[in-house]
């Protein structure tokens, strides 16, 4: 699992600025997907070969309710409990504030993985800036400037010290789907897991001391092999209701990262929410294969069904590459069709397309509709090859390709997706200009 860095601190100390710094390396290829929610509260980052996740709790709720005991609300505390390193951010220009002390106190009670970050230190004498923060008893502060990018590399290095450089598992080498089942609380994830695994196996797993802490569960469905990634403890929850406060952003992100395929579960008895869209966006950004399951399709009248379909089209249009299933996990309806879509999406994500076929298809698309001129020059697309899988990455070579507009990239994506039957996986098209 990638380590999760969690940003905590009172408002205006520079958390979201720092967040942007830490997630600079985010994938530019997904920047132009229309409808994708630009959530600025969680994202990916990488320092050298060390990948990590970043969560900014600043967006979760006000951190401090003026001096009362409960300085941080539940979502933040949950993120603190589940994060790997807490970056406690303070403002070096304002100096130590009473609110900082309250937050520090709360943090110290819960965790010892705190790194004190003194921000806004550009152009200042560091020893003077950081001196007063020693009082917080959180060890040596790390001075940075989020705006100028000063000392950010050192900060990440420090934060990741205890995380050895792990060899990134080559997802494209997996032999079968590694599935994360994600969605908001109460949409029916546990029920779906139980239905897929079969009740008996779930009971077996619940024996204390057996596989209790294992998050990878191998199972078979219709004689096919799958692995379920269960960071959120779905299989042992059974009928216990999870409250909104217990929704774990970090576990959701980590299981999406660890999977090669995601089943996104939505609740037909509720509206499609912003949180649904945020999770969906993260899945697409991460490039995972995807199957969408609209659950609780039982007991709905025609009007309610049409309403949900309309909302799906409007709010999650960017998921149109994925198969959509209306299911009832409770009654076991629709699973027989759901799982073949899982196989199909997995196969698409792992597809290997030979260079000649790719090039031929790309050139045919260009002949049918050439790219528009960019200023004085017309981009020239010469050949295409596949640069990776899960998701498939198509690299198109030629000249003046920096002038190819996003709409044209989408046209090519669409054409390639259709030609090679890539249902259920994001597809990345990258341009490389030679001289």
Please enumerate, by residue number, every residue annotated as part of a binding site. Answer: 9-16, 56-60, 119-122, 183-190, 230-234, 295-298
| Residue carrying structure tokens 């530019």 | 28
| Residue carrying structure tokens 């001391």 | 209
- Told to check if 16 binds ligand GDP by CB under 6 A, we report yes
- Told to check if 325 binds ligand GDP by CB under 6 A, we report no
| C-beta atoms surrounding 69 within 10 Å | 8
Binding to ligand GDP by CB under 6 A, coded x per residue (else -) over 266-295, reads -----------------------------x
Minimum distance of ligand GDP from residue 376's CB (angstroms): 38
- Told to check if 187 binds ligand GDP by CB under 6 A, we report yes
Minimum distance of ligand GDP from residue 408's CB (angstroms): 35
Binding-site residues from annotation for GTP: 9-16, 56-60, 119-122, 183-190, 230-234, 295-298
Binding to ligand GDP by CB under 6 A, coded x per residue (else -) over 328-357, reads xxx---------------------------
Cβ within 8 Å of residue 199, ≥6 positions away: none
- Told to check if 17 binds ligand GDP by CB under 6 A, we report yes
Question: Could you tell me which stretch among 326-334, 355-363, 388-396, 406-414 binds ligand GDP (CB under 6 A)?
Answer: 326-334
Whether 325 and 295 have beta carbons less than 8 Å apart is answered as: no
Minimum distance of ligand GDP from residue 83's CB (angstroms): 17
Question: Could you tell me which stretch among 125-133, 140-148, 256-264, 419-427 binds ligand GDP (CB under 6 A)?
Answer: 140-148
Q: How do strand 50-56 and strand 42-47 relate by DSSP bridges?
A: antiparallel
Minimum distance of ligand GDP from residue 20's CB (angstroms): 8
- Told to check if 252 binds ligand GDP by CB under 6 A, we report no
# chain residues binding ligand GDP, by CB under 6 A = 32
- Told to check if 157 binds ligand GDP by CB under 6 A, we report no
Nearest CA among 161, 204, 192 for reference residue 294:
192
Question: Could you tell me which stretch among 8-16, 301-309, 361-369, 427-435 binds ligand GDP (CB under 6 A)?
Answer: 8-16
Give dist(CA 32, CA 413) in Å, integer.
Answer: 12
* Farthest-apart Cα atoms in the chain, separation: 70
Site of interaction with ligand GDP (CB under 6 A): 9, 11-17, 58, 119-120, 122, 145-147, 183, 185-191, 234, 242, 295-296, 298-299, 328-330
């Amino acid at each position: 699992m990638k380590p999760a860095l969690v940003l905590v601190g009172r408002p205006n100390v520079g958390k979201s600025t720092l967040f942007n710094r830490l997630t600079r390396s985010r994938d530019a290829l997904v920047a132009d997907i229309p409808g994708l929610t630009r959530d600025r509260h969680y994202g990916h980052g990488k320092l050298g070969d060390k990948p990590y996740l970043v969560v900014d709790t600043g967006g979760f709720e006000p951190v401090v309710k003026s001096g009362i005991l409960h300085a941080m609300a539940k979502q933040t505390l949950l993120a603190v409990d589940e994060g790997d390193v807490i970056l406690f951010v303070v403002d070096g220009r304002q100096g130590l504030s009473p609110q900082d002390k309250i937050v520090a106190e709360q943090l110290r009670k819960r965790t010892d993985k705190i790194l004190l970050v003194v921000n806004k230190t550009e152009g200042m004498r560091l020893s003077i800036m950081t001196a007063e923060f020693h009082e917080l008893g959180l060890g040596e502060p790390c001075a940075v400037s989020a705006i100028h990018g000063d000392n950010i590399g050192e900060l990440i290095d420090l934060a990741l010290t205890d995380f050895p450089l792990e060899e990134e598992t080559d997802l494209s080498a997996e032999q079968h789907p590694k599935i994360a089942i994600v969605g908001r609380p109460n949409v029916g994830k546990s029920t779906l897991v139980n239905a897929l695994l079969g009740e008996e196996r779930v009971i077996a797993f619940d024996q204390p001391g057996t596989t209790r802490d294992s998050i990878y569960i191998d199972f078979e469905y219709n004689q096919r092999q799958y692995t379920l990634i269960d960071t959120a403890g779905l299989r042992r929850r059974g009928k216990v209701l999870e409250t909104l406060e217990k929704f774990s952003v970090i576990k959701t992100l980590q299981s999406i990262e660890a999977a090669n395929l995601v089943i996104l579960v939505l609740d037909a008895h509720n509206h499609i929410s912003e949180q649904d869209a945020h999770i969906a966006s993260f899945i697409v950004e991460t490039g995972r294969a995807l199957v969408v399951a609209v659950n609780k399709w039982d007991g709905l009248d025609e009007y309610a069904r049409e309403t949900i379909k309309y909302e799906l089209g409007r709010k999650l249009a960017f998921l149109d590459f994925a198969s959509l299933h209306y299911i009832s996990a409770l009654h076991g309806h629709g699973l027989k069709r759901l799982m073949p879509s899982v196989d199909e999406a997995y196969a698409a994500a792992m597809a290997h397309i030979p260079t000649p076929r790719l090039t031929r298809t790309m050139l045919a698309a260009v002949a049918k509709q050439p790219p528009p001129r960019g200023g004085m020059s017309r981009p020239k697309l010469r050949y295409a090859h596949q640069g990776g899988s899960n998701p498939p990455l198509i690299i198109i070579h030629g000249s003046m390709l920096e002038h190819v507009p996003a709409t044209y990239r989408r046209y090519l994506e669409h054409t390639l997706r259709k030609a090679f039957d890539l249902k259920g996986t994001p597809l990345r098209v990258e341009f490389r200009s030679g001289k």
